[in-house]
Structure 1
C-alpha cells in the first residue's frame, strides 16, 4: 500500500500532528495482511490545480517523523511505471487528495486506469460485491469537501467586509497615515494580544499627500514634474519606505505619485479589495468590486470631490487615447534582442521604435529620479541600432557556431546517418511545419529549447528571414548576450550551448532502387 497525506500550512493547523494522525488512522483501517510500504505527503493547500500540486518544499520545514517518498506528483509518476512498490493507495479521506472535486476525480480516475484502487479511512474497504454504495458515499464526501471550502471562504470574506465597514484597517497603512491600535473587541482575542487599528494622519507625510493632490489638481502638473519637486526637498517631503526597506529607493518616482493619487483611502473612507492580491497577482480590481465603509472613518488627506475629479480626468484621457488608435488590428512588435543587450553600466536596454527604425536604449534617469549618483558618469542616453546588432549576431551564429570545425562534425554525422546533406528550407516561416518531423511537434511544446537546438543548422542558414518568435526562442536557448562598451561602436557577443547539445537529422524518405 501507498499512503498519501496532505495538510494545510501552519496558519491553519500543526502539519506535524495532522500527518501523524492521518497515517495512524489509515493503518488502523487496513486488513491484517496489508501493509504500507511508502509514504507520500504534501504541506500545501488542497485547492491547488494538478499542475501546481506536489512541487513545493514546505514539508521539509517541519520535523515530521515519517519517511517521505515524495508528494502527489511523485505518487502519480511511480504509479505509471511498470515496476512500482505498491498495489493500492489509501488516504484519510478524499479531501486529503484534493479539496476540489474535479482534481480529486482526476487523480482517482488516473489511478483506476492504471489498475490501482484508491481507499479512504472514512469509507468502508470492500474487495467483493458491488461498488455502487461505495461510489455514492465517496461522491457525497467529495461534494461536502468542496462545499466546506467555499463556505469557509465566503464566511471569511464576509467577516473581512464587516471589519472594513466598521472602519478598521487591513494591512500596512498607506503613505501619509500611521496606525493607531486598539484593544480587540473580542475578549478572547484581546487576552491573546490581538489588536485592531485605525488610520490617523502622519505629520509631514500627510501634508505631502495633500500637496501632491493640490499640484495635480490646481497646477495640472505631470507625475514626473511632481516627483522632481518632491526630490528637491526630501526633508520636507520624506519619501515612502516599503516594508522591510529592501526596495527602498530613497527618492520619489512617478509610479509612487500615481499610486497615491489613485488610492481612495485618502478620502477618509476605508476601502478593501482594490487589488486581487491572491487570485490575480496584485492586479487592480474593477471599482465595482471594491468594499467601502458607509461613511468616512478617518481624517481625509484628499477631499472626496477632488479625488473624484482627478479620477474622471484620468479616465477621460485613457478613453481619448483608446479612441485615437485605429480600430484595425495591430500586429505585436517583437524586439528580437529584448533582454539580450546589456549596457556597460550593467542595465539591460529596452526596445524603442521611432521613424521606422528599431533601437535599444539605456536611459538610467527614467527609473532613478532623485538619485543622480546612481548613474554618475553615464551618458544621458545610450542607443544601439537593432539592424547593426542583428548583422553581428548573424555572423556569430553562422561563422563561429557553425564554422569549419562544426560543419566538419556535421558532415560526419550526416555520413554516418547515410541520408546525405539535407537542404535547408526556403521559407523558414514553415520550419516548424515542414522541416521538423511531425513527431517533434509535441516534443517542441514540452521542451522547446532542446528541440529547437536540434535543428540549429537549418535555422542559422535562414536566420535573417526567420520568424521573430522563433528567434526569441533561439536566443533564449543559446543564452545570447550582447555587451556594449563604455565608448566606441564595438561590442562583445557571447552565447553558450548545453553540454548535451546534439544535431538532429530529419528522417528522409527512402527511395528503392529499381
Structure 2
C-alpha cells in the first residue's frame, strides 16, 4: 500500500519542526511497514494551532483536496500522533471524508486503519481529540497564571515592544537555569533619552488643558518624529508622516509610564467565525479588558516618566470628556468595493490608498489626510478627497473590453501567443520531476545489479521499496504538472477571446468582490488626480488563464504555470471621471 504521511508541529513553544517531524515519521513507519506499506506523499502543518479546523489549515486542506483526486497516488493516510492532528470535534467532521473517498486512516493508537463501523475506534479517537483540547486549555491556564504572578510579584518585563519613551536594557541572567545556560537574559524598561521627554510633554500639556488634537498638531509643528517615524521597524505598515491622534491617546492611556509593570490590559477571545456553521471553528480577537482586570506589580519595576497621581488625573479628565477606552469592533462592510486596494491618491507627496465609503447609498473612495500629516510634510492636501465609484466603472470596463474588439483582437492574440511561447518558468517543475524519476530509475538498476551479485535480499528489497515510493511520488507530481500546464497556441487564444460581447456582459454581472479579485489578477493600478479630475489606469497582467466555461469567474493565479502576458497588449487609458460614461481619452493622456 502507498501512504500519505501527515504531521503537525506548533512553533508557539519553540519546538524544532525537524525533530518533531522525524519522530512522528518514525512512529508512522513502524506502524505501516510490517503491513507492506510505504510513504509516497507528505502533508504537514507547521506553526498552525490544532484548534484551527482542517479546512483552514494549509497542509490539512491540501490533504483533504487530494482525497477527492482519483490520481492522488496513495491509498491510505497515516498519522504519527492523533493528538496533534485532531482537536475537539474535528475527527467527527473530517473522518467521513476519508470514508466517502475510500481512503483508509491509520493511527498507532488503534494499531492500524480506523474501522468506520467500530464504536471502539470512534470512542478512542474522540477521547484523544478531547485530550488534545484539554491539554491546550491546561497549557493556556498555566501560562496565563505564571505570567500574572511574574508581573505582580516580580514586576518582570514579559516581552513585546517597549512603549514609546522607553528602551530595553539588560536585567541580568535568566532565572531558569536551562535558559540561562543558553545565554538567555532578562530585560527591563529604561527611559529613552530622546523620546522620554516627549512623553512627559504629552502628559503635561494634556493635564494643563490642551486636547489630543492640539497636542498632535504641536508635536508635528515642532518637527518631533512620531513613534513610527522614530523607529520605522516597530510599525513598518505606518506611513510615519506625522503624529496621529490615536498615537497620543495610546500614550495617555498607558499605565506603564508610572514605573509599574502592568499586564493583562488586553485579552484574546476565541469567537465563532459563523454562528450558523460551528464546524468553521473560531478566530482570535484582541479585546480590551476593564481597568479592574489589569495586573499591577506590587512595587515599581522601572524608572517612571510620570507620577501615578498624574496618570490617574489624566484618566479622570479623559473619562470626563468621554474619551474612555472602548472596545473596538471589527468593521465588516456590507458592500463590496470593486477597486478596493487598487485606487491611489495622486496628489504629490501622498500616494496613499483611497478607502471605500458609502454616502447616500452610493460607493465612494476617500483619501482623508489628517492636518497634522500635512503640517509635518508641508503639503497642500485637502482634508478629504472623494471619487464616486459609478463614474469610474463604465469607462474602465469599456477600456478593458477594447482588448477584445476586432481592431485589437489579432494584435492581442499575437502578443499572448508570443508570451505563451516562453516556457522557461512553466517547464522548470516538469524538468525537476523528470530528473527525479531518472535518478530513481538509475538507482533501481544499481540495486538490481547488486541483488544479482549476491547482496542481502532483505536489505536490497528495503532499498528498492524506498526508491519505488520516491519514483511513485515523482510520477504523480509530474502528472499533476502536466495536467495543470498547457501552452496556449494562437488558435487557443483566438477561441477564448473571440466572443468579447459575452465577456463584457459577464464582467457587468459579476459581484464587486469578484471584479476586485479579477482586477488584482490583471495587475490593475488606478491613480486619481483630483486637481485634473483624471484617473490614470495601468494594467500589468501576470498571467492569462483558461476558463473551461468561458466566463469571467476569477481563479487564483498559479505563478510559474500560467503563460506570461505583456501589459502592452492592452491599449493605454486615461479616464476623465467627470465625462460621460464610456468616454475614453486619447493615448497622450
TM-score range for the pair, normalised by the shorter chain length: 0.5 to 0.7
2:373 aligns to what? Answer: 368
2:184 aligns to what? Answer: 194
1:325 aligns to what? Answer: none
Distance 1:126 1:472 in 2: 44
Moved more, 218-227 or 255-264: 218-227
Match of residue 477, structure 1, among 518, 531, 536: 518
Matched, 1:47 2:51: yes
Distance 1:240 1:12 in 2: 31
CA-to-aligned-CA distance 1:194-238 (integer Å, 9 cap, x gap): 222333333453332122111012122333444424651649x99
- Structure 2 CA distance for partners of 1:179 and 1:123, relative to 1, 3 Å: same
CA-to-aligned-CA distance 1:279-317 (integer Å, 9 cap, x gap): 787844222543332444334323334333433443454
- Deviation for aligned residue 1:97: 1.9
Structure 1, unaligned runs of 5 or more: 56-70, 323-330, 410-452, 464-468, 506-514
- Deviation for aligned residue 1:14: 2.2
- Deviation for aligned residue 1:163: 1.5
Conserved in 1, the CA contact under 8 Å of 2:89 and 2:126? no
2:382 aligns to what? Answer: 381
Structure-to-structure mapping, 1:6-405, within 5 angstroms: 6-9=8-11, 11-30=13-32, 32-42=34-44, 43-45=46-48, 46-53=50-57, 55=58, 71-98=59-86, 100-125=87-112, 131-165=118-152, 166-170=154-158, 171-180=160-169, 181-229=171-219, 231-232=221-222, 234=224, 240-243=230-233, 249=240, 252-276=243-267, 283-287=286-290, 288-318=292-322, 339-344=341-346, 345=348, 346-350=351-355, 362=367, 366=371, 368=373, 371-372=376-377, 375=379, 379-381=380-382, 386=387, 390-391=390-391, 393-397=393-397, 401=401, 405=405
Conserved in 2, the CA contact under 8 Å of 1:94 and 1:104? no
- Deviation for aligned residue 1:251: 5.6
- Deviation for aligned residue 1:168: 0.9
- Structure 2 CA distance for partners of 1:176 and 1:31, relative to 1, 3 Å: closer
Match of residue 505, structure 2, among 451, 457, 481: 457
Tell me the matched-pair count.
424
Distance 1:151 1:79 in 2: 34
Match of residue 492, structure 1, among 511, 536, 539: 536
CA-to-aligned-CA distance 1:227-285 (integer Å, 9 cap, x gap): 424651649x9974254685683864433222211111112321123345797878442
CA-to-aligned-CA distance 1:379-398 (integer Å, 9 cap, x gap): 332876645x7445434535
TM-score, length-normalised on structure 2?
A: 0.59
- Structure 2 CA distance for partners of 1:245 and 1:397, relative to 1, 3 Å: closer
Distance 1:76 1:333 in 2: 32
Distance 1:185 1:384 in 2: 56
Distance 1:31 1:260 in 2: 61
